[in-house]
Amino acid sequence: MISLIEKENNSNDKWLKPDFNQKSGRELFAFYLQTKFKQILAYDRKCDTPIFIETKSDFISRFSKRLISNPQKKVMIGITGESACGKSTICKQMRKTIKTLDLPVSVISADFYFNDISELISKYSTFDNLIANGYDIDSPDSFQLDLLKSDLDKISNGEDIFIPKYKQDGTGISIPNAVEIPSRKIVVVEGMSTMYRNVKDVFDIKVYIETTDELREKRFLDRASDRNQSIENARKHWDYVKEAGRKYVQPSRKEADIIINGNADLTYFSQIIEYIYTITNNFQ
């Protein structure tokens, strides 16, 4: 990917910057993006560990039409996948790259929209006891989906929002209006609930991250201490997580425009973002 970035930067054959206020300019830019995205896919297929597992055949044309028809709307990207598939890790890397390149991107964790279950945890003494007594933490009913949908509609239309913050420390506390998220040109939302019910309808690009059960289990156990869990309790919880993933998250795979390898090299992932930045800012 570095070779593509260098080739783009050193090329004397650059496109004239389109006039985005004109439909013809947006059509030209959409065609340009289609060409470059196909170039990325062709490069990726030759890699030892490709990032792109699958892409829908009509994705590029559909996204291009959206850019042409409604240029004022923010570009909304939803990222989902089963627990410990790599969503948060990829988004952390994305945040680093965004900061380095000063990109107009906002990143939201949909896990902040878990319901406040602090009273239930107090009733059952611990989070693990609550789960053991049948509370379905990954169910769509366990999220503030109406609030999530409402907030995403607002930010997609240019309104800054204040989102809740769910404390992943075993207390089950959700703090309302705790985190300010500015409405930037691109909004990335990650979490299993991004594709639940009508929330998925907000997104222009739907991404599913896929990783083997074996690697997900290892990651899940490794992060147990960060979530105030013992390894023993985490092992018990893993059986629930795996089944909940099959029930609630895997159906989202068929909704995805792009399926990404959750075990891909993060440096390479950053290079793809850098390349996209380069091609969208490298006009005459």
The pTM (predicted TM-score) of the whole model is 0.90
pLDDT in tens, 48-92: 889 999 999 899 889 888 888 888 899 999 999 999 898 888 888
Answer whether 124's CB lies under 8 Å from 133's CB: yes
Q: Is the pLDDT of residue 284 over 60?
A: no
Three-class SS of residue 205? strand
d(CA 171, CA 118): 6
Euclidean distance between CA atoms 119 and 65, whole angstroms: 47
- Output the pLDDT for position 235: 84
Neighbours of 165 (CB within 10 A): 18
Average pLDDT over residues 197-203: 96
First-residue to last-residue Cα distance in the chain: 22
**Is residue 44 scored above 60 in pLDDT?**
yes
**Residue range 217-221: mean pLDDT, rounded:** 90
Chain-wide mean pLDDT for the chain? Answer: 89
Question: Of residues 61 and 173, which shows the higher confidence score?
Answer: 173
Q: Which residue has the higher pLDDT, 121 or 9?
A: 121
